[in-house]
Structure 1
Amino acid sequence: MSEIQNVTVLGAGVLGSQIVMQAAYAGKNVVAYDIKQEFLDKLPARWEWMRGHYAKDLSAFTAEKFDDAVGRITTSTDIAEAVGDADVVIEAVPENLDLKKEVWGNVGKAVKDSAILLTNSSSLRPSDFADATGRADRFLALHFANMVWRSNTGEVMATPKTDPAVFDRTVEFAREINLQPFPVHKETPGYLLNSLLIPWLDAAGDLYANEVANPHVIDEDWKVSTGAPKGPFETYDIVGFNVAVNIGRNRPDATESQKKFNNLLQERGIDQGKAGLGDGCGFYEYDGNGRIVRPNPDWIIYED
């Protein structure tokens, strides 16, 4: 049996909740932490949403196994309590450097010396806040993709201060929770996936912000031209507007069109409770099985 049995996930949002279930479904005991009980109260509905996707996407799915996973999940709004017994801590809080430093400072005071400390940061360099943990040798990145049970990548990226043995153990931990690990040997913001993905999404956002075409038209052109299964705006829905906005707000080099698009994601999406696939509506409206019903009229510029 693995010596890693207790996992704590900091942040119970769209991706954080998926990480919780990914670890619990793999047999780990998981504590889901968030700052407010109201965020944690949303998790049972998230489990039922995921249940349908697990049943559809995983050939070995059983309802009993999923129920057992739910039974291994507990919740907490007390960070010291949440991490006290953790063998691994995974942070999935918003992309804000000061916030991450604050959270990891609190974790470092309460976590046991043997714990592995992992950030799921999408675009910040882990070394920029590694020292906040007080144990930078045990700190590194494990980056998850959205819809993690299906897109089960685990990018493992060390900082210059990470103990190589901890890096190797994290690669093994990724396998234990049913990820395919991808070692990243030189620290870079965005890892492998987001270094490729973000410029592509930026280009789509620029097209929309400059009123060049409707989102579904841009998506369809991309898919027909390249044979890709999804276009950039479908991908925005999968990633979730909250993640995109948090990344955008922390980019000092953002262009005017990127700022405009970021504001539109906030105003038309997040503020309306329509922030992507997790809400059942983003650039597209979705049915209960996550299938596109139609483009969301709120984002239509032209009647094509």
Structure 2
Amino acid sequence: MNINDIKTVAMIGAGDMGHGIAEVALLAGYKVNLYDIKDEFVDKGKKRIFESLDLLAGKGKIPPELNTAIREQLLTTTTDLAKAVGNADLVIEAIPEIMDLKKKVFAEIDQLAPAHTLLASNTSTMSISEIATATNRPDKVFGLHYFNPAVLM
């Protein structure tokens, strides 16, 4: 797989980092499935993305057409992990920095995502090698650390 093969990104976690990373992917033209465990978390992440896009559009940093395309075509939200990762080429995880939780989520994603899917963690402190042991594809697990706010970095 190369970068041109990536069409859909699943963002796992819609919080402070997750919504920003999702926005970066959306601005790059990727379809994004934004996932979190509760509707209220997903809704808040989506709201923050839309507020940021409106700000960027209002300042002339992005064309209005891109703002519309993201809202109408590129972004989907869900609390169903299978739906989030089922068509993903790249999964990016940004959940709390708890190793057991990360390994549990990566094990679930590994079972639900297509075999070609790359799995990334936004962690800055956890061992990627240890996270990868929870999957059957350790060669496709890597770190992809963003700084906050992701959309400005």
TM-score by length of 2: 0.89
Q: Which residue is 2:50 aligned to?
A: 48
Q: Secondary structure at the match of 1:22?
A: helix
Point out 4+ residue stretches in structure 1 off by more than 4 angstroms. Answer: none
Q: CA deviation at 1:145?
A: 1.1
Deviation string, structure 1 residues 186-224 (Cα, Å, up to 9, x no partner): xxxxxxxxxxxxxxxxxxxxxxxxxxxxxxxxxxxxxxx
**Distance in 1 between the 2:87 and 2:142 partners?**
19
Give 1:188-207 correspondences, 5 Å limit. none
Counterpart of 1:78 (choices 56, 77, 80) is 80
Q: CA deviation at 1:45?
A: 2.4
**Distance in 2 between the 1:133 and 1:50 partners?**
34
Q: Secondary structure at the match of 2:152?
A: coil
Q: CA deviation at 1:69?
A: 1.7
| Residue 117 of structure 2 is aligned to residue 108 of structure 1 | no
Amino acid at match of 1:69: I
TM-score by length of 1: 0.47
Deviation string, structure 1 residues 10-64 (Cα, Å, up to 9, x no partner): 000011001111111111111001111111122342123312553477x641222
Asked whether the 8 Å contact 1:24–1:70 carries over to 2, the reply is no
Q: Secondary structure at the match of 1:122?
A: coil
Q: Which residue is 1:66 aligned to?
A: 67
Asked whether the 8 Å contact 2:119–2:140 carries over to 1, the reply is yes
**Distance in 2 between the 1:130 and 1:112 partners?**
16
**Distance in 1 between the 2:54 and 2:115 partners?**
38
Give 1:255-270 correspondences, 5 Å limit. none
> Cα RMSD (Å) of the superposition?
1.9
**Distance in 1 between the 2:108 and 2:55 partners?**
35
Amino acid at match of 2:119: L
Asked whether the 8 Å contact 2:35–2:84 carries over to 1, the reply is yes
| Residue 92 of structure 2 is aligned to residue 90 of structure 1 | yes
Q: Which residue is 1:6 aligned to?
A: 8
Q: Which residue is 2:32 aligned to?
A: 30
C-alpha change, 1:52 and 1:75, in structure 2 (3 Å) is closer
Larger Rg: 1 or 2? 1
**Distance in 1 between the 2:107 and 2:89 partners?**
17
Q: Which residue is 1:199 aligned to?
A: none
Amino acid at match of 1:9: M
Counterpart of 1:119 (choices 100, 104, 121) is 121
Deviation string, structure 1 residues 224-277 (Cα, Å, up to 9, x no partner): xxxxxxxxxxxxxxxxxxxxxxxxxxxxxxxxxxxxxxxxxxxxxxxxxxxxxx
Q: Secondary structure at the match of 2:144?
A: strand
Structure 2 unaligned segments of length 5 or more: list them: none
Q: How many residues align?
A: 150
Amino acid at match of 1:149: V
Asked whether the 8 Å contact 1:34–1:77 carries over to 2, the reply is yes
The percent of aligned pairs where both chains have the same amino acid is 37
**Distance in 2 between the 1:101 and 1:44 partners?**
26
Q: Secondary structure at the match of 2:4?
A: coil
**Distance in 2 between the 1:66 and 1:131 partners?**
39
Q: Secondary structure at the match of 2:37?
A: coil
Structure of higher RCO (CA pairs closer than 8 Å, 6+ residues apart): 2
Structure 1 unaligned segments of length 5 or more: list them: 152-304
Asked whether the 8 Å contact 1:54–1:149 carries over to 2, the reply is no
Q: Which residue is 1:159 aligned to?
A: none
Asked whether the 8 Å contact 1:47–1:70 carries over to 2, the reply is no
Asked whether the 8 Å contact 1:21–1:70 carries over to 2, the reply is no
